[in-house]
Structure 1
């Protein structure tokens, strides 16, 4: 005789040959797994097999990412290190103000100069125009920026740092200029003689 009260009760099953009134207690969960003659319920086995198959599939789908993500982080770390590392101060020259003669090494304005016959534009700033100013204030401030850049370049060795673009549409080499790990362009910005370059020119008038 078998008595099952509910899913949480204990199944009482009479064992042949046992004394009258003595019963074996079999957990309900086990009774579900065993059918007639002690055979395993195929639905339970099928469920476990499906669960194991899904677990193996999940591990296979994640495993390439576990390898790819650390590998991808290596070039990103290198790029970040390169972007934040200041250049060596290995350039030194004497810079006069550019005149009407051939320009080899000289200062054009607050953000443009020549060095050994190559024209450079300081990439991280924009200074007031002196050739085509929009107002008298811009012209006067542009002259101050030009003299200040000349002073900074002549103060000692400095280094170039290239960005993502090598040159602009005018053929000028785009470089940030550093000395002792400090940007000379940022110094001009701090002194009010340049704007930080944001991709467009900002007004110096009004």
Structure 2
């Protein structure tokens, strides 16, 4: 009978499997999978971010278009203003007239949208200065009994509100100034007041 001390240990009878290479290979495969997965996630995130960006831009454009459309079709017809209207000066800059096609309403500058009258401040000739003063005075006379200032919702390059003015009897101020030879259509070319305009403007009452 063999003594207990002479017998080999129990675990030496079972060979230990060699797992080194397989474990290393498996580790490499897992690493590649993680790298591929990480790249795919980054790519997906980049695509989502790009879609969100373009979606935001599209929504912003639609929002601006909606606001512009609302303003275009919901502009107020215009509030009635009472006359007479004084000439603008260093002491009068609230509601006043600057020249034949320009003035101020509640401190904001406006300009008639469809016509151009001669310049008072920097005339090209004496004839232009004379007609410019006549146009300004005629505009002031027309607004004595009240008027309606109708905004177009746009501004000119100088920041002035582009408007039409309707009198209480429904007549259009721009049309009157054109018919009386005190204005020309806008936009225009050249200085007709000095180059071609030699007759006196027609002055109509009423």
TM-score normalised to structure 1 length = 0.52
Rg comparison, structure with higher value: 2
Aligned to 2:3: none
Find out whether 1:167 has 2:161 as its counterpart. no
**Is the 1:105–1:113 Cα contact (8 Å) retained in structure 2?**
yes
| 2:189 maps to 1:196 | no
| Alpha-carbon RMSD | 2.6
d(CA) in 1 for partners of 2:125, 2:133: 13
Q: CA distance change for structure 1 residues 117 and 93 in 2, over 3 Å: closer, same or farther?
A: farther
Secondary structure class of the residue paired with 2:130: helix
State yes or no: 1:185 paired with 2:174: yes
Secondary structure of residue in 2 paired with 1:185: helix
> What's the counterpart of residue 151 of structure 1?
141
Unaligned runs of 5+ in 1: 1-78
User: More helix per residue: 1 or 2?
Assistant: 2
Distance in structure 2 (CA, Å) of the matches to 1:123 and 1:170: 13
Give the alignment partner of residue 96 of structure 2, picking from 106, 114, 138: 106
Rounded to whole Å, the distance in 2 between the matches of 1:117 and 1:153 is 17
Residue 166 of structure 2 aligns to a residue whose secondary structure is: strand
Paired positions, count = 122
Deviations 1:7-33 (A, max 9, x none): xxxxxxxxxxxxxxxxxxxxxxxxxxx
How much does 1:92 deviate?
2.2
What is the Cα deviation at residue 198 of structure 1?
Answer: 2.9
